Amino acid sequence: QKEVEQDPGPLSVPEGAIVSLNCTYSNSAFQYFMWYRQYSRKGPELLMYTYSSGNKEDGRFTAQVDKSSKYISLFIRDSQPSDSATYLCAMMVDKLIFGTGTRLQVFP
């Protein structure tokens, strides 16, 4: 079993939709949780960072962590074609462990 599981997609949604991206993990020692966005052939860009259970909001993005279920989510409201990218969850204990990424396509 991988330490971090993430559905690879692709996920295709119309512009304006609410997008839900999810990861599950097996290591209860993970303390820090991040979401990165990666455009094709580019380095990952940090979107959200949290270390506690609950919700954290930043503009159109909301990160949710449920440590009891070992489950994290990223919600994107009012999705735009420019949000089309691969979204990577990442978790830290002594090093950063990434999910495989979910490819999102937002069509006009």
Partner 1 sequence: GAVVSQHPSRVICKSGTSVKIECRSLDFQATTMFWYRQFPKQSLMLMATSNEGSKATYEQGVEKDKFLINHASLTLSTLTVTSAHPEDSSFYICSVEGQGTETQYFGPGTRLLVL
Span interacting with partner 1, options 14-22, 52-60, 73-81, 98-106, rule CB under 8 A:
98-106
Q: In the complex with partner 1, which residue's Cβ is closer, 42 or 78? A: 42
Vertex 10 angle, CA 27 and 39, to 5°: 85
Determine how many CB atoms are found less than 10 A away from the CB of residue 26. 11
Q: In the complex with partner 1, which residue's Cβ is closer, 50 or 62? A: 50
Q: In the structure encoding, which two tokens stand for residue 96, read together?
A: 């950063």
CB of 14 to partner 1, least distance (A): 25
| Dihedral class, residue 5 (left if φ above 0, else alpha if ψ from -120 to 50, else beta) | beta
Give, as ranges, the residues between 26 and 85 that touch partner 1 (CB under 8 A). 31-32, 34, 36, 41-46, 49, 51
Q: Does 18 bind partner 1 (CB under 8 A)?
A: no
Nearest to 30 by CA among 54, 51, 10, 9: 51
Q: In the complex with partner 1, which residue's Cβ is closer, 13 or 97? A: 97
